Amino acid sequence: MAGRLAFGLGIAPLVLLAVVSMATFVDGLNPGSIGFDFRGAYLSAAHAIVDGESPYPPVEGPALASQTAYVYPPLLAYLVIPFTILPESVAAILAVLGVAALLAATLVVLRVSDWRCYAAVLLWAPTTNALHMASASALVAFAAALAWRYRSTTWPLAASLGFGVAAKVILWPLLVWTFATRRLRATAYALLIGGVSTLVAWAGLGFAGLESYPAMLRRLADLEAGESYSVVGAMTSVGFGDGAARLLAVLIGLTLLVGCVVLARRGDDLRSFTLALAASLALTPIVWLHYLVLLLVPLAIARPRFSAIWLVPLLLWLTPLNGNGESIQPFLPALVVAAVLAVVLTGESPKEARPSTAVVR
């Protein structure tokens, strides 16, 4: 009883911080900003496709600096086309509800039944940010959850990763995990599914924007990386040059991928999978707060019952939802990711996620 009381008193300040921060954020919301990413990027791109136009902005145009430009592979825009028949405000509300459903489904897919975990995630700043933006980050987390849940079945694993990477490239390090764990057929089929679906989607645009797409991503990184929560953003905030910060991000990402491969060879699926997810965040030059809903996946696998680690992401309420802040704020997301990694990598894995020599080819 005394232990539970001490635990409750210990987490009370974090919970209070989250509740007050969330209430303040919701109170200050402009109704027109609900579903910001969805309205400004995804829905606009879908309307452009319906109208027979390219969803991609000019590389050197002002639209790319507006944070509302569509900068993703075309598949995501195609998925949003059904929403174009609805009034924008209705479509945005439905998109927000869809994000909430995807986040809940991520926990359900990973067999989390403890309601306290759902309540804790609802209090996370990344969750609030994902809901406010109606961000595709929830879709990324759901795809990763499906990949883990169906890791022993070739086609579902391949489909979840293939379409996941085709929707948002950030998940590509999970293909390193499938290859390193000798899920060779799943890796090949995922590459085929992702490649074909992307090619077909771009063909529907007459390949508009394909040639300039790499240049667009480079310019976007130049515009936004330094203000985001990525390794690049954190390091430039303390005086690192852009080139040095990007090199450090690549080194961190590659180190995580090497660890992923080493653990995979030892048959340690969960830890290998977790390092691949961490590499996804490390290698991405732009990381906004809603990207960190991806932490749901390793947490739900390693700790399906509520414990203190589920509340650590509440610390992210100390960071701004837009921009990466100052002083220690740009580093708080990295510290939260490190805490989750420490729990997964050093703790005892659930029985179904323990090292195994089983291989899916």
Residues 256-280: pLDDT tens digits?
A: 999 999 999 999 999 999 999 999 9
In a domain, 361, yes or no: no
At residue 357, the pLDDT reads: 42
Asked if 174 contacts 280 with a C-beta cutoff of 8 angstroms, the reply is yes
In a domain, 11, yes or no: no
- Given a cut of 50, whether residue 359 has pLDDT beyond it is no
Instruction: Report the pLDDT averaged over residues 290-296.
Output: 96
- Domain count for the chain, please give it: 1
Angle, CA 355 vertex, CA 342 and CA 149 arms, to 5° = 85
DSSP of 28-97: T--GGGTTHHIIIIIIHHHHHHHTT--SPPPTTSGGGGTT-S--S-HHHHHHHGGGGGS-HHHHHHHHHH
- Given a cut of 90, whether residue 327 has pLDDT beyond it is no
Torsion of CA 39, 45, 50, 54, to 10 degrees: 160
The domain in which residue 40 lies consists of 22-353
**pLDDT digits over 170-224, tens only?**
999 999 999 999 999 999 999 999 999 999 999 999 999 899 999 999 999 999 9
Instruction: Report the pLDDT averaged over residues 270-299.
Output: 96
- Given a cut of 80, whether residue 41 has pLDDT beyond it is yes
Min mean pLDDT across 268-277, 335-344, 346-355 is at 346-355
Min mean pLDDT across 32-41, 80-89, 233-242, 258-267 is at 32-41
- 3-class secondary structure, 178: helix
- Given a cut of 90, whether residue 358 has pLDDT beyond it is no
Give the span between the Cα atoms of 89 and 354, in whole angstroms: 46
Q: What are phi and psi of 218, to 5 degrees?
A: -65, -45
In a domain, 3, yes or no: no
Name the pLDDT band for 169 (thresholds 50, 70, 90): very high
**pLDDT digits over 127-152, tens only?**
999 999 999 999 999 999 999 999 99
> Tokens for 175?
């293909």
Give the span between the Cα atoms of 110 and 147, in whole angstroms: 10
At residue 16, the pLDDT reads: 67
**pLDDT digits over 49-68, tens only?**
999 999 999 888 788 887 78
- Given a cut of 80, whether residue 11 has pLDDT beyond it is no
Burial level of 359, CB count in 10 A (0-12/13-18/19+)?
A: exposed
At residue 356, the pLDDT reads: 47
At residue 2, the pLDDT reads: 46
At residue 105, the pLDDT reads: 98
In a domain, 359, yes or no: no
**pLDDT digits over 183-197, tens only?**
999 999 999 999 999
Give the span between the Cα atoms of 12 and 9, in whole angstroms: 5
> Tokens for 123?
């209090």
At residue 324, the pLDDT reads: 87
In a domain, 360, yes or no: no
In a domain, 34, yes or no: yes
Three-state SS annotation for 284-332: CCCCCHHHHHHHHHHHHHHCCCCCHHHHHHHHHHHCCCCCCCCCCHHHH
Q: What separation in angstroms does the CA of 194 have from each of 161, 189, 201, 324?
A: 8, 8, 11, 32
Instruction: Report the pLDDT averaged over residues 323-351.
Output: 88
Instruction: Report the pLDDT averaged over residues 281-286.
Output: 96
Chain mean pLDDT for the chain: 89
At residue 60, the pLDDT reads: 84
- Percent helix, strand and coil across the chain, each to the nearest 5: 75, 0, 25
Place of tokens 């085709």: 166
Share of the chain above pLDDT 90, in %: 78
- Given a cut of 50, whether residue 19 has pLDDT beyond it is yes
DSSP of 186-252: HHHHHHHHHHHHHHHHHHTTTTTTTTTHHHHHHHHHHHHGGGSSSHHHHHHTTT--HHHHHHHHHHH
